[in-house]
Homo-oligomer: A and B are copies of this chain.
């Protein structure tokens, strides 16, 4: 379906990600419309030629004419939108999303969705430290991962279309994982990582530390500047998985602390060699 540029694409939520999707897809020739909260976002996107049309209303024409709808909303807002407005969607429409947690959202949406509309979930693992349609850019997709997380309810066609969407957007890697595999991976690589950064940033408020700060500390706390509304919601919606990852980290950290207490130098060196060897896997290829 997606390769047919006569199809209409609707973006719901025209922020950083929604705007970046619009920008890239419009260049391919698709008709792009947007529904979002702020008129200023619509005005900006129209002025910049990022979208063809947009509205802050629940415009039945715009919503009802879209063949592909991309939801770029906070998790609970996405669920509420579907609950309240799914009657406005076109029969046969395909919908997808950008939500950073999957299990707690995907089954809920698929279970409540009309049978003539299909939801194929995806997570574009891209972001910036700034937000809003004004900062949108396809550049951030170029070295990033796009993960499709289908369930048993999805058709092969929808999965293929969603994979193709990721490729069109220019992602470096397009993969599929189950919602559960996705959540475990993101719980470790992204959410635990943010938990550590905000903990390090707030565990010692001694003054003047910044005068002596080198690159190591800056690297570990870059993501400690965090959108509290979004991340607290992402943590809660992946609660059990994240708690498990936090426990893995706590166990290992406590093991290191015990080795230091008992001056188990060989144990510490072994852990450092393990760390060094494993880190090599994660170098950018």
Contact = CB atoms under 8 A, between A and B. Distances in A.
Contacts of A253: 195-196, 199, 203, 246, 249-250, 253
Nearest to A278: B201
Interface stretch (A17-25, A36-44, A56-64, A214-222): A214-222
B228 A198 contact: no
A206 interface: yes
Interface in A164-215: 173, 175, 184-186, 188-190, 192-206, 209-214
A5 interface: no
A76 to B, nearest CB: 11
Interface stretch (A66-74, A154-162, A263-271): A263-271
B243 A260 contact: yes
Contact of A189 (B144, B212, B246, B257): B212
Nearest to A207: B281
Interface residues of A, number: 85
Contact of A224 (B235, B265, B279): B279
A252 interface: yes
Contacts of A125: 212, 214
B220 A196 contact: yes
Nearest to A145: B212
A232 B265 contact: yes
Nearest to A282: B210
Contacts of A93: none
Contacts of A112: none
Contact of A209 (B189, B194, B229, B231): B189
Given A199-B253, A219-B220, A224-B276, 8 more contacts: A144-B214, A147-B212, A184-B206, A190-B216, A202-B271, A210-B281, A216-B223, A235-B260
